[in-house]
Structure 1
Amino acid sequence: MTALISRRAAIGAALAAPVIWGQDAVAQIRRGDELTVGVWGGMQERILREFVATPLEQQHGVKINFVLGGTTDRRARAYAERGRPSFDIVYLNIFESRQAVKDGVTQDVTGNVPNAAYLYPVAKLGGYGVAFNPVTIVYDKRKVAPMTSWRDFWRDDLKGKIIWPTYPGAQGTSALLMAAKIWGGSETNIDPAFTHIAALKPFAAIQASQDQLYAMFDQEVGAASIEFGSFTRVYAETRNPNIIIADPTEGQAVATNVACITTGTTKQALADAWVNLHLSPACQRAYAERIYYSPTVNNVELPPELAAKLVMGPAAVDKLVDFDWDLVIRNQARWSNRFTREIAG
């Protein structure tokens, strides 16, 4: 994918963003300060270095330290260091971030981040949502008729063609909760989900990761699954044009990457500035152009052909399906055991 903004123009736009900052907050950022950021690697890291880290380092004479990896390790470290953090920013997923605020590990949204004023309401829960990455139906258009509803998994023509996502995990959790929703259940009544998912067996396979699913699609092991739409769109446009990312009538399951400022950070002003740049139109646009992450702010303009591939605008965001994540997390161990017995077994 070709970015629509040059590196020089993007950095220039990012450097300009702190102009809207209150002068008192800027004065608290001291030359030589170091900010430690725990985040995923790959393209996300590269975008953050270009649009956030480099502008801050150049403008304020600070140093940004990246700690790369998955959420499990950095979440555990953040909890172990609660109140005396070595991280200043940790990136978490939708349910981890909300719980971390309740547990006093990270901070809720404040008025110290100007660009947070443009966040959609669902992106203000548990910190600063920086990207929507919904989970949805993905399928091979050569193998099955168009899928427009989560109920389509129970169509006769999909028998033996379904690659179901493992549980727990974002994809498997979304699949379980959406199955409960469409068959009359909910987070408080998960039985309809397990009953109906079990009725889909035998599956073509159980998938535990995007890479595994895409290899299965390549090998034509199965024809339909549940996955992050953004990653699957990249896969479809670079490897397998037969794969369709569906927009089901009931909505896609919300998933959000969240920038969380740790409670007790000694670099509060610099952390606020970091988040402000991540929410800037330039950075949000880069996420959309390079990895199809949808903006969490309402002040980003994108070309129509790109916007059509994303969750854009209040109506589309309102259609995302959210859940009671506290309840989901409390039941995770029990549901995981049940998934192993009734679905994967």
Structure 2
Amino acid sequence: MPTRRLVIQAGLATIAAPAIVRAQGLSGQITLMSYAGIFQDNYVKTVIEPFQQANPGVKVNYVPGGSSAQMVGSVRAQKADPQVDIAIMDVTTSSIGNTEGLFDKLTPAEVPVLAELLPEARAAGGEFGPAVTFDHLVLVYDTQNLTPPITKLADLWRPDLKGQLAVSAPPNIQGLALTAMVEKMEGGDYRKSIDAAIKKLRALAPSVQTFDPNPDGYSLILNGVVKVATGWNARSQLFADQTGGKIGTLLPPEGSVFQINTINLTAGSKNRAAAIAFINHALSQGAQKAFTERMFYAPTNGKAVIEPKAIARTAAAPESRARMIGVDWNEVIKLRDQWNNRWRREVISAAR
């Protein structure tokens, strides 16, 4: 007669069997759309290739989608016949896709790793795709040709920097973040008004060479086109390493803002099972650790154990967190069009 333990083990095995079969039976292709360049190179190495090794029946195609706005536009254009299964983009843009029904909600039953995420990571997408990376806005500068170097946000208004700035304006999320930062620098609160920020940014406009850095501010600095640009910490850390320190990174003492990328399941995905499996993997402790240590995005999985040297260069470092301005992106999303219009009418127009 079987023992109680054997009966329990047999029962558990029966319950687990379907999940094992599903994992072993994953096959076909999925398409992931996200950022090009160094993000793509490092994401493929640290996240996609390990997933494919664990799931040899699944092929992950990475499609560089341009900006977040371009990516949501692509998903929108394919709504009737989705070609993309997963999209990674900034939260201010993925929220548009959520509202338009372009992305599916994710449940803990399908994506159990959601339970390991930091509260702010899960809250970022609501019932939809959660945060997959955290970052923060920084100022990047030419360490070889800028004397003295910048040490604070207010240095952007230095007379010697006239014509030497590359600033990403709204609707780019960098411009939205910069607005909140400048408002705080001027003693205000973006939740009440951005009048002080707009006035200060209007005074900065004549010093800005471009409000739409192409391909990005880091490249413009390296090519000698500008000396200072707005940028993201993770990319600037990697560029600094790759260029032997030619790019400097400043987390302004006046404060900075968290940037959030969410991972989103396209509604009508043609290989939902494999796409869900990939999302579970991308949010897992191992994948989060590998990508953070390679590219310095802060992890969103609260249980991921990151090397101290790597975490010190991310948005999760204690000194970085201490300087973060509390920005509710769900509220900023509601104000985005208003801010964008004010930048166009009052800031960008002042540069002409």
Alignment TM-score, normalising by the size of structure 1: 0.77
1:129 paired residue number = 131
2:9 paired residue number = none
1:309 aligns with 2:313: yes
What is the deviation of 1:151? 4.0
Q: Deviations over 1:189-229 (max 9, x none)?
A: 33222211122354163353375534554466654432112
The 3-state SS of whatever aligns with 1:241 is: coil
2:268 paired residue number = 264
Relative distance call for 1:83 and 1:157 in structure 2 (3 A) is: same
Relative distance call for 1:271 and 1:88 in structure 2 (3 A) is: same
Q: Deviations over 1:309-340 (max 9, x none)?
A: 11226885583543323223332552353256
The structure with the largest alpha-carbon Rg is: 2
1:326 paired residue number = 333
Show the 5 A alignment for 1:282-301: 282-301=286-305
The 3-state SS of whatever aligns with 1:209 is: coil
- The structure 2 residue matched to 1:335, chosen from 322, 335, 342, is 342
What is the deviation of 1:282? 2.9
The 3-state SS of whatever aligns with 2:299 is: coil
What is the deviation of 1:57? 6.1
Identity of aligned residues (%): 22
1:64 aligns with 2:54: no
- The structure 1 residue matched to 2:285, chosen from 281, 284, 295, is 281
Show the 5 A alignment for 1:71-220: 71-82=68-79, 85-111=82-108, 112-124=110-122, 125-126=124-125, 127-140=129-142, 143-144=147-148, 147-148=151-152, 150-154=153-157, 160=162, 163-168=165-170, 169-183=172-186, 184-186=188-190, 189-200=193-204, 202-203=206-207, 205-206=209-210, 208-209=212-213, 213-214=217-218, 216-218=220-222
The 3-state SS of whatever aligns with 1:135 is: strand
Answer yes or no: is the 8 Å Cα contact 1:143–1:223 preserved in 2.
no
Tell which deviates more after alignment, 229-238 or 138-147.
Answer: 138-147
Tell which deviates more after alignment, 45-54 or 125-134.
Answer: 45-54
In 1, distance between residues paired with 2:213 and 2:296? 18
1:40 aligns with 2:42: no
Relative distance call for 1:53 and 1:268 in structure 2 (3 A) is: farther
The 3-state SS of whatever aligns with 2:120 is: helix
Gaps of 5+ in 1: 1-20
Answer yes or no: is the 8 Å Cα contact 2:26–2:274 preserved in 1.
no
What is the deviation of 1:260? 0.2
Alignment TM-score, normalising by the size of structure 2: 0.76
Which letter does structure 2 place at the counterpart of 1:106? F
In 2, distance between residues paired with 1:212 and 1:262? 28
Answer yes or no: is the 8 Å Cα contact 2:133–2:300 preserved in 1.
yes
In 2, distance between residues paired with 1:311 and 1:99? 25
Answer yes or no: is the 8 Å Cα contact 1:91–1:259 preserved in 2.
yes
Q: Deviations over 1:167-191 (max 9, x none)?
A: 2323233222322333325266332
Answer yes or no: is the 8 Å Cα contact 2:43–2:291 preserved in 1.
no
Which letter does structure 2 place at the counterpart of 1:118? E
Answer yes or no: is the 8 Å Cα contact 1:25–1:269 preserved in 2.
no
